[in-house]
Amino acid sequence: MSETKKPAGYYLRERFMPHLWCAGCGHGTVLNGLVRSVDELGLKKREIVMVSGIGCSARMAGYLDFHTLHTLHGRALAFATGVKLSRPELKIICPLGDGDALAIGGNHFIHAARRNIDITVLILNNRIYGMTGGQYSPLSGCGIDATTAPYSSIDEAFDAVRLATASGATFVARTTTFHVHQMQQILTQAIQHKGFSVVEVLSQCPTHFGRKNGGLEAVDMLKGYQQNTAPVGSKKLENSPDLIPVGVFVDEERAEYCDRYQGVIDRAQGGAAARTAPVGQGGAAAQGGAP
């Protein structure tokens, strides 16, 4: 932990400002929480690689003075996997939106979780596609109005926490932009965690989600996060199971992918005797057998 706290501006690229987030957007709150966690952990800027996809959430990468890779919609985790496996000593943080994480990027998400590769994922869940103008997302849920759901959405939403857990993520948490202290605490834990860590942050989009769904303003939505959530394992949640649980759901140790790959290297360099499985001869498939 660093002794002296640095101002948030130390981590920002002012050349990139002003940012493009709307007034009242929750994403700036998440950026603030992230910067404070990085500062608290005493990480050097050059140790961190931010890999993002496409969307409002993805712009977070460019605003921060780390190594930043702004990629394709949904593919951030695939790029991140290449960075991490190639340079395991780097810290990888991926801010993803609804579509990045769980629509077009859903397959990459579950496979990265399955491998338990040491990447920290922030799912900035605003239940809407903001940058493209307010279409519904796989996190919108039923009964939501959107520009592509003029008669309200009939699609069920993913539960990102349960999906991440089932896919093998070894740290899974949920928080909101209202719970700023909890958010920072959880982000710190997630970045420290060795393995695939997922933090779902409920983040308000007053411009598109709020306006289409009852004219909610940012403050209304933040109040909603306060009123409609309860800590996981709490009495409050037990009494009102319809509330959205927040807190840490999974925090376990399991062999991390890059560490396991080091084992592969050790076996490969140890010669044939050290190999655990028989290895086919080069071009073995040329001797017959198509898939």
Partner 1 sequence: MIWKIVIGGVGGQGIITAGIILAETAVIQEGRFAVQSQTYGAAMRGGLTRTDVIISDEEIIYPKVDQAHMLACLHRKALSAYHKMIRPGGLLVTDRDEAPALKRLDCRQYEFPFSAALREQSASIRNVNLCILGAVAHLTGVVQMAHLEDAIRVRYSGNEDALAAVKLGQELVVDSGFRAVHLGEDGRTGRHATSARE
Partner 2 sequence: MSNATAGSPASGTTPASGPATTGTTPASGPATTGTTGRTLCVPGNEACAEGALYAGVGFFAGYPITPSSEIAEIMSRRLPERGNRFIQMEDEISSLCAIVGASLTGSKVMTATSGPGFSLMQEALGYGIMAEIPLVIVDVMRGGPSTGMPTQGSQGDVNQVRWGTHGDHSIIALTASTNQTLFETTVRAFNLAETYRTPVVVLYDEMLGHLRERLSIPEPGELPLVERLRTGVPEGVDYHPYLIRDDGRLPMSDFGGVHRYNVTGLYHDMWGFPSTDPHTVDDLAHHIYDKIELRADELAQAQEFYMEDAEIVFISYGSPARTAHQVVHQARMNGQRLGLLELQTIWPFPARMVRDACRKARATIVVEMNMGQMYYHIRNAVENPRSVFLSNRVDGRFITPKDLRRVLRIVEGQGE
Residues lying near partner 1 in the complex (CB under 8 A) are found at: 286-290
- Written as six digits, the tokens of 200 are 């779902």
Contact window for partner 2 (CB under 8 A) among 66-74, 137-145, 183-191, 196-204? 66-74
Contact window for partner 2 (CB under 8 A) among 163-171, 215-223, 239-247, 258-266? 258-266
Contact window for partner 2 (CB under 8 A) among 167-175, 217-225, 240-248, 265-273? 265-273
Assign residue 24 a region: left if phi > 0, alpha if psi is -120 to 50, beta otherwise? Answer: left
Task: Assign 138 to helix, strand or coil.
Answer: coil
Task: Assign 149 to helix, strand or coil.
Answer: strand
Q: CA torsion, points 133, 139, 145, 151, in degrees to nearest 10?
A: 110
CB of 67 or CB of 212, closer to partner 2: 67
CB of 238 or CB of 266, closer to partner 2: 266
Of positions 7, 150, 241, 280, contacts partner 2 by CB under 8 A: 280
Contact window for partner 2 (CB under 8 A) among 13-21, 22-30, 160-168, 192-200? 13-21
CB of 1 or CB of 286, closer to partner 1: 286
Q: Can residue 81 be called a binding residue for partner 2 (CB under 8 A)?
A: yes
Rg of the Cα atoms in the chain: 21
Our CA angle for 52, 53, 54, nearest 5°, is 125
Of positions 46, 162, 223, 236, contacts partner 2 by CB under 8 A: 46
Q: Can residue 286 be called a binding residue for partner 2 (CB under 8 A)?
A: yes
Of positions 4, 86, 239, 276, contacts partner 2 by CB under 8 A: 86
Q: How far is the CB of 209 from partner 2 (least distance, A)?
A: 25
Q: How far is the CB of 272 from partner 1 (least distance, A)?
A: 11
- Distance in angstroms (rounded) separating the CA atoms of residues 100 and 241: 29
Query: CB under 5 to 8 A by kind: which of partner 2, partner 1, none does 17 bind?
Result: none
CB 97 within 8 A of CB 128: no
CB 96 within 8 A of CB 52: yes
- Distance in angstroms (rounded) separating the CA atoms of residues 236 and 230: 6
Residues whose CB falls within 8 Å of the CB of residue 169, separated by 6 or more in sequence, listed in order? 113, 116, 195, 196, 197, 198, 250
Using CB under 8 A, list all residues that contact partner 2: 13, 15-16, 45-47, 49, 51, 61-62, 65-72, 75, 77-87, 89-90, 107-108, 111, 261, 264-265, 267-269, 279-280, 282-286, 290-291
